[in-house]
Structure 1
Amino acid sequence: MTQVLADGYRRFAELEATGVSEIYFDWASGIADDPTVLELIAALPGIKGQPNLVFAAARFVGAPVGSYAEFRDWIVEHWESVVPVILARSTQTNEAARCAVLLPVLERLDGPLSLIEAGAAGGLVLYPDRYSYRYVVDGTTERLTLDPSTGPSPVELPCTIDATSVPTRLPEVAWRAGVDLNPIDVADPDQLAWLETLVWPEHRERRERLHRAAALVAADPPHLIASSDCGRAASPR
């Protein structure tokens, strides 16, 4: 069991963390060769042993963000505090920047639109009409700025795009709803803090964008439904 787990952490380090997070690369590589920590994680049920969840839970309760040696000493000493967080939480990232790649498709749809998202988490992707976009056309220096009709948004989404996909307008959204196994209320400080912890340590810009988007959404929350059945989402009235 621990060998399978070790291989999983090694793959995470090499395929997901390389070039993205030096800290998570170091932690995952260290755990892959650490029988003591592997034994602790192996006692968790099924998917709960995944690196993203273990690392986020540890950071949520105070793990130092530094070398693996520091992290290793801390997690062995505080493992009993980390386990309840792992068991109670899940990896629910919510990235508003995804709207930048959805906008070229939404622009082609006749509006006004009713948006329903499966796996919505906190619903940040349900607000493509409330964000500002800063596109750079791939292979050129051409830049395109798109803002809501009310003016520049506190949430700016940078994106490189090919010339044939450049959008020219924001959609008109009349209604928005989301379905998720565990919807997140971004107005709840504890739930927002968990979302922030799921952002990898070096990604400061993503954390700042998360907070700006969460403030925007909290001021006008979407209709979120807790369900595993997307078909149960209520229709707009």
Structure 2
Amino acid sequence: MTGTRERYAAYAERIGPVSPSYAAWARSVDDDLVALLDTLPAQQRQPELVFAVARRLGADPSDPGALRALGREARPALVTALTTATVQANDPRRLGPVVPVLQALAAASAQAGDPRPLGLVDAGAAAGLCSIPDRVTLDHVVAGSPDAGRAPSRTLHPGARGRDVRSGARSDRVRVHTAVAEPSVHLTVEASGTLPEPSGTPIRIGARVALDPNPIDLAEPGAFDRLVETVPPEATDRTALMREAARATLAVPPVRIRGTLPGDVDRALDALPDGVRPVVLTTGTLVYVPGPDRQRVVDRLRERGVHWVALERTGILRGVAATLPDDVDPADPDAFATVSLDGVALAVCDPFGVRVRWFRRPGA
């Protein structure tokens, strides 16, 4: 297993381009701090978790020595806080790769004459910022096109290719899904490969259940501030997007259930009302489930006969990994996560879901 110092060195390398302050904190870890962290379970030593707790205890990320000082001067408080803390960053960008999959399920229902809306169980929901796929307006930008990397812009109508309303030039931006109501969030994904065909069918959700060991109620004072503690201070655009997602979630709040996988998946599914089509969504959840229990989750969902849409770390599920193309390299940052439907891989993407390579169309 990678040692704590190596873990933080690797994190510094990865986070440096987007957060110099967090990279500096990761590089500042000395022998004393390593010894402190090594008294904790591996799960409680995650850099994101340690940095969030440090900020909660008053450490200033702009001071490269603040983390080391906290470990030296407030050791008991830091250990106590880390013992029970959890990572709940809840990044709504992860909806970008899963919205086309849920839209394909909605379209299949419509084509089959099934009027039922989806009943969504967001497993590992935190505050439920990924419980709002119907409140997402999603654009695909073809990888390598002039539009790649540009800010979101309006398109003429759902699924339209054509003139960019800002510059009058041809655009490779495609409106894949339009939010069914406001407030909503707008996501742009750089897509390549066998792209899903925009169907124009909106995602309709009739009920939402948020399953989490420590579900966050965004209506509580200070809840959003606690949620963004894990976000690097330089990532102001990410915080702004999370704030928009929080507004949308508050407009259609899920039923919150305190529980874990696999033990409480039945309780979450049973909380859905009659008249909906059950779908379980996991976005970066199963990496926190002990290895043997991951397959139990998959087996139970199959036994229940419900759809399972997942965005999970590439390779952690053998059955899903077996359906990947041979040229997918799990070490490639753009293949960090796998998008799958009912255990069949459809695409791979970067950790944040903003660059997606599709190799199967959902529902095809």
TM-score (norm 2): 0.58
1:30-53 superposed Cα distances (whole Å, 9 cap, x missing partner): 21xx11222332333442222111
| Residue number in structure 2 paired with 1:210 | 242
Work out the CA distance in 1 between the residues paired with 2:96 and 2:199: 12
d(CA) in 2 for partners of 1:75, 1:194 = 21
Q: Which whole-Å CA distance do the structure 2 matches of 1:149 and 1:51 have between them?
A: 37
Deviates more, 1:97-106 or 1:75-84: 75-84
Which residue number corresponds to residue 59 of structure 2? 63
Counterpart residue number, 1:136: 141
Matches within 5 A, 1:30-179: 30-31=28-29, 34-109=30-105, 110=109, 112-140=117-145, 141-145=171-175, 146-150=177-181, 153-162=183-192, 164-169=195-200, 170-179=202-211
1:75 Cα offset (Å): 4.4
Shift of 1:143: 1.3
Quickly say closer, same or farther: Cα 1:45–1:107, change in 2 above 3 A. Answer: closer
Q: Structure 1 residues 161-170 or 209-218, which shifts more?
A: 161-170
Deviates more, 1:43-52 or 1:213-222: 43-52
Uncovered stretches (5+) of structure 2, i.e. residues with no partner: 110-115, 146-170, 275-364
Question: What is aligned with 1:187?
Answer: 219
Match 1:219 to one of 238, 251, 261:
251
AA aligned opposite 2:246: A
In structure 2, which of residues 24, 27, 32 is the aligned counterpart of residue 26 of structure 1? 24
Where is the strand percentage greater, Structure 1 or Structure 2? 2
Give 2:298's aligned residue.
Answer: none
Kindly indicate whether the alpha-carbon contact (under 8 Å) linking 2:132 and 2:248 is maintained by their aligned counterparts in 1. no
SS in 1 for 2:74: helix
1:4 correspondence with 2:10 = no
1:159-199 C-alpha deviation (Å, 9 max, x unpaired): 21236225343311111112111111122233321211111
Count of equivalent residues: 232
1:68 alignment partner, SS class: coil
Distance 2:267 2:61 in 1: 41
1:232 maps to what in 2?
Answer: 267
Q: What is the one-letter code of the residue matched to 1:164?
A: L
Aligned-partner SS, 1:177: strand
Shift of 1:5: 2.2
Distance 2:61 2:123 in 1: 33
Q: Is the 8 A contact 1:187 1:215 kept in 2?
A: no
Taking a change above 3 Å as real, the CA distance of residues 164 and 43 of structure 1, as seen in their structure-2 partners, is closer
1:117-148, CA deviations, whole angstroms, 9 ceiling, x for partnerless residues? Answer: 21111111111111222332223341134432
TM-score, length-scaled by structure 1: 0.85
Distance 1:193 1:187, change over 3 A: same
User: What percentage of aligned pairs have identical amino acids?
Assistant: 32
Q: Which residue is 2:12 aligned to?
A: 13
Q: 1:84 to 1:215 in 2, by over 3 A?
A: farther
CA RMSD in angstroms, aligned pairs only: 2.5
CA 1:172–1:165 in structure 2 vs 1: closer, same or farther (change >3 Å)? same
Q: Distance in 2 between matches of 1:225 and 1:19?
A: 37
Give the number of the structure whose residues are more often helix, by fraction.
1
Q: Which runs of 4+ in 1 moved over 4 A?
A: none
> Greater CA deviation, 94-103 or 163-172?
163-172
User: How far is 1:153 from its partner?
Assistant: 4.3
Distance 1:204 1:58 in 2: 19
